[in-house]
Amino acid sequence: MCGIVGYLGSNHAAPVLLSKLRVLEYRGYDSAGVAVIESGRLNVLKAVGKLSNLETLLQKERPSATVGIGHTRWATHGSPTDENAHPHINASGTLAIVHNGIIENYSELKADLIAKGYVFRSDTDTEVAAHLLSHEVEKDGDVLAAILRTVSQMSGAYALGIVSQNSPDRIYAVNHHYSLTVGLGENESFLASDSAAVRQYTNKILRLAQSEIAEIRADGVRLFSFDGAESSREPVAVEASAYKIDKEGYKHFLLKEINEQPLVLRQTLSKYLSGADKQVNFNVDSFSPDIEGMYGVKMTDEEIRSIDRVQIVACGTAYHAGMVGKYVIEELCGIPVEVDIASEVRGRKLLGNERTLSIAVSQSGETADTLAAVKDAISNGSFTLGITNRPDSHLAQLTQNLIVTECGIEVSVAATKTYAAQLICFYLLAIYLAEKRGSITPERARQLKVGLNQLPGVVEQILGREEEYRRESLKLADAQDVVFIGRGFNYPTALEGALKLKELSYIHASGYAAGELKHGPIAVLDSSVPVITVLVPGKVYEKTLSNAQESRARNARMVAICVDGDETAPKTFDYFFRIPAVEELLSPIVTVVPMQLMSYFVADYLGKDVDQPRNLAKSVTVE
Ligand code: AGP
């Protein structure tokens, strides 16, 4: 979480820092701030809340400095206040630090510094680093040497950006099991925790290695390991990206991204299911030259046939995609699949061996818990496969096999189009593995591919029902608690529907396996509680309908996501979100769309911050 940026060159630093922070605002929006060095003096400007508050402050103050660092915060240690906002400074106000991650031993370090007479103004772990560094700088005035002594005392995974009056013509960056990218321009240099915020300005980038320090000047960069040894690496030339944040006429990014789903599905399908023979092929050219060669499923056919177990790790929406993946892989490949919430793998023994395929799903590719689980899988000797929207992410670097969702940047914090793309990738992967292992017939594979290719059109039809869905959705806006149920392939859809409604509207919602309702959750039902049921034709239709009837018998407000022409549903349900029928196995891609729209309409009606819901961040880089 949190985003770090830096600039030094001959232009005014503040506008550059601000535009880079805009790219990183998805990483947190509790507060934002910059520290610039103006005529040799440190000047720190920060504001609680959205980046626009900092923008207003900078417009008023108009700092003319050409060196500075900036930060956008997602609160971990200490609430979102001015005192806790970054950058943090030392007692004399001569150096400033921005920080991403957690300094795990900060309590001990803080106690030690307090004993030495340091006074703390914030509740953050970052301020510990500021005072500790200051303490070390005072010894000999050498900032780089002081950073080396400081990092040797700190534990945890973190990234830092540092400016100091002692070295006013440079920025220091520290990367310890995090992610930081330096960009090198014509007599100007950039720093950011996401390369997208560097590529706005230059196509020459250098990703910092684990446990590496960069001393950045306008005309170049020096790299040091934590033991002080200097190393050199040539920057990589990448495609400069015109990172565009544009709602293109939509009221919110979320609505735009929901509407982009047909395009995303088409793009992903055409990338991985192209060619006259319509074979699934993941080994395709990268669209990011700097990571060329990393894409694809590199396992040999023999290795694929050797797999006797699949494990999937992910968080949040990506976890729900993983659950659909489990059902689909088990169905088509006949291999047992376990799905784990990645944070639940921490502190536990992740079982696996060289016959295990360990799949990590992460839109950002930077989710700390997911990355930690991948490292466990690597140490088990398992095959690893990442599914991510960010080919330049940590996940992409860690995993042997990589499938990239073709979504473009997802700006809204709530995931929608990336979920659709993750599902498509799971379908394609399951078919790919099943064909290699001979667990489905060529005819079944063909039938599924035809079905997959029809999905973008089906989702388009659903999106055409927006107005109808809006009317039905607003009937639910007064609810305090909402229950989502589904079975089989659509149990994960129920979980995802509940997550979307919660995070967007702040209405309490829970998703359950429909058959599990009667084992306890049914106690919460009364006439005020909507029960949203995913009811599509297939193996579990009758049973799901029975579970819905049990809810109806408790006077719940019955809402169906059901297919056109279902004549049975009206006997049980009061409200309807009709969808075109598709094969049950493929239906999760379709059934989730009315839920996304429902959550959006309710949240917008209630006046919630749709694109940046409270307390959330798009990329969760702390454990
Ligand atoms: C989804 O709407 C979320 N905001 C969240 O659950 C997200 O899916 C989760 O944090 C995982 O992120 P990742 O896909 O980047 O790993």
613 inside domain: no
**Measured from the CB, is residue 356 less than 6 Å from ligand 1?**
no
> What does the alpha-carbon distance between residue 318 and residue 341 come to, in Å, rounded to a whole number?
9
Dist. CA 455 → ligand 1 center (Å): 23
* DSSP tag of 355: T
Please enumerate in sequence order all residues whose Cβ is within 8 A of that of 497, keeping only pairs 6 or more positions apart, or say none. Answer: 484, 509, 511, 532, 534, 592, 595, 598, 599
436 inside domain: yes
Condensed to tens digits (0 to 9), the pLDDT of residues 403-433 reads: 999 788 888 999 999 999 999 999 999 999 9
The answer to whether residues 477 and 530 belong to one domain is yes
**Measured from the CB, is residue 622 less than 6 Å from ligand 1?**
no
Terminal alpha carbon distance of the chain:
10
The answer to whether residues 382 and 348 belong to one domain is yes
**Measured from the CB, is residue 315 less than 6 Å from ligand 1?**
yes
8 Å CB contact between 600 and 255: yes
Q: What are phi and psi of 116, to 5 degrees?
A: -85, 0
**Measured from the CB, is residue 388 less than 6 Å from ligand 1?**
no
In the predicted model, is pLDDT for residue 41 greater than 90? Answer: yes
447 inside domain: yes
The answer to whether residues 414 and 354 belong to one domain is yes
The pick from 315, 417, 496 for probing ligand 1's pocket by mutation, whose C-beta has the most ligand atoms within 8 angstroms, reads: 315
What is the SS3 assignment for 156? Answer: strand
Condensed to tens digits (0 to 9), the pLDDT of residues 163-208 reads: 999 999 999 999 998 889 999 999 999 999 888 888 889 989 898 9
Q: How many domains does the chain have?
A: 3
Q: How confident is the model at residue 290 (pLDDT cuts 50, 70, 90)?
A: very low
In the predicted model, is pLDDT for residue 289 greater than 50? Answer: no
**Measured from the CB, is residue 459 less than 6 Å from ligand 1?**
no
How do strand 356-362 and strand 309-314 relate by DSSP bridges?
parallel
Nearest CA to ligand 1 atom 16: 362
Q: What is the pLDDT of residue 294?
A: 53
Instruction: Answer with the one of 463, 493, 519 that is the final residue of a domain.
Output: 463
Nearest CA to ligand 1 atom 3: 414
- Judged on CB neighbours under 10 Å (0-12, 13-18, 19+), 362 is buried
244 inside domain: no
The answer to whether residues 488 and 535 belong to one domain is yes
Q: Give the residue numbers spanning the domain of 304.
A: 253-463
CATH number at residue 353: 3.40.50.10490
Condensed to tens digits (0 to 9), the pLDDT of residues 221-263 reads: 999 999 999 999 988 887 655 445 678 889 999 999 999 999 9
CA 341 to chain centre: 14
619 inside domain: no
The answer to whether residues 160 and 85 belong to one domain is yes
> What does the alpha-carbon distance between residue 556 and residue 337 come to, in Å, rounded to a whole number?
35
Torsion angle of the four alpha carbons 473, 476, 478, 482, in this order, in degrees rounded to the nearest 10: -130
The answer to whether residues 106 and 230 belong to one domain is yes
**Measured from the CB, is residue 317 less than 6 Å from ligand 1?**
yes
615 inside domain: no
The pick from 194, 257, 317 for probing ligand 1's pocket by mutation, whose C-beta has the most ligand atoms within 8 angstroms, reads: 317
The answer to whether residues 428 and 521 belong to one domain is no
In the predicted model, is pLDDT for residue 1 greater than 80? Answer: no
What is the SS3 assignment for 533? Answer: strand
In the predicted model, is pLDDT for residue 529 greater than 60? Answer: yes
Sign of the torsion formed by the C-alpha atoms of 419, 425, 430 and 431: positive
The answer to whether residues 210 and 164 belong to one domain is yes
CATH number at residue 80: 3.60.20.10
Which atom of ligand 1 is nearest the CA belonging to 619?
A: 15
Which atom of ligand 1 is nearest the CA belonging to 317?
A: 8
The answer to whether residues 360 and 319 belong to one domain is yes
**Measured from the CB, is residue 503 less than 6 Å from ligand 1?**
yes
Mean pLDDT of 214-223: 96
The answer to whether residues 340 and 221 belong to one domain is no
Q: What is the pLDDT of residue 444?
A: 95
> What does the alpha-carbon distance between residue 288 and residue 68 come to, in Å, rounded to a whole number?
29
| Active site positions, annotated | 2, 618
Condensed to tens digits (0 to 9), the pLDDT of residues 306-344 reads: 999 999 999 999 999 999 999 999 999 999 999 999 999
245 inside domain: no
Nearest CA to ligand 1 atom 4: 414
User: 3-class secondary structure for 263-311?
Assistant: HHHHHHHHHHCCCCCCCCCCCCCCCCHHHCCCCECCCCHHHHHHCCEEE
Q: Write out the DSSP string of 40-98.
A: TEEEEEEEESSHHHHHHHHHHH----SEEEEEEE--SSS-SSTTTSSPEE-TTS-EEEE
What proportion of the chain, given as a percentage, has pLDDT over 90? Answer: 77
Please enumerate in sequence order all residues whose Cβ is within 8 A of that of 572, keeping only pairs 6 or more positions apart, or say none. Answer: 545, 548, 549, 552, 558, 560
8 Å CB contact between 212 and 224: yes
**Measured from the CB, is residue 566 less than 6 Å from ligand 1?**
no
617 inside domain: no
Nearest CA to ligand 1 atom 7: 316
Instruction: Answer with the one of 409, 442, 463 that is the final residue of a domain.
Output: 463
Torsion angle of the four alpha carbons 503, 505, 510, 515, in this order, in degrees rounded to the nearest 10: -110
Sign of the torsion formed by the C-alpha atoms of 394, 397, 398 and 401: positive
Instruction: Answer with the one of 463, 496, 524 that is the final residue of a domain.
Output: 463
The answer to whether residues 378 and 512 belong to one domain is no
The answer to whether residues 180 and 281 belong to one domain is no
